[in-house]
Amino acid sequence: MAGDPSWPTRAPRSSTLKKTKNRTEFLVFCRYLRSLYSPEVRIAIVCDNFSPHLSTKKDSRVGDWAAENNVEIAYVPTNASYLNRIECHFTALRYFALNGTDHQSHEEQNSMIRRYIAWRNCHTDNPALRAVSLRSKVA
């Protein structure tokens, strides 16, 4: 993060909570990411091996879409999620918003996550946030 020009530390984070996590929803998200950049810019999306992210013999929509839209989808190896550079942000989210909590409902938990993201976007230089994120950053 700090000093790494390939990782925009000031880029705002956002969240969208979905009831389903299927291949169609993943492709909607990919199309949204693609819309943020001009078609000439090649983008890379790092994914874990969650089945909706994968192209299969029965359903090749993800791979076909990526090939047609100047997108590279990179998969981290199974049991190696620490190689995914976004994981340090999840560690910070767990540390600041979820550890030691007992939410009464999913809505209350989702609210806490959204509040954390809003706080994080306003406090990118917070020393405690930076320490937690850097401690878990491997790749």
Q: Using one digit for the tens of pLDDT, what is the confidence trace for 92-101?
A: 888 888 888 8
Quote the pLDDT of residue 5. Answer: 43
Pairing relationship of beta strands 43-47 and 71-75 according to DSSP bridges = parallel
Q: What is the pTM of this model?
A: 0.54
10 CB-near residues (< 8 Å, 6+ apart): 124
- Token representation of residue 113: 């996550």
90 CB-near residues (< 8 Å, 6+ apart): none
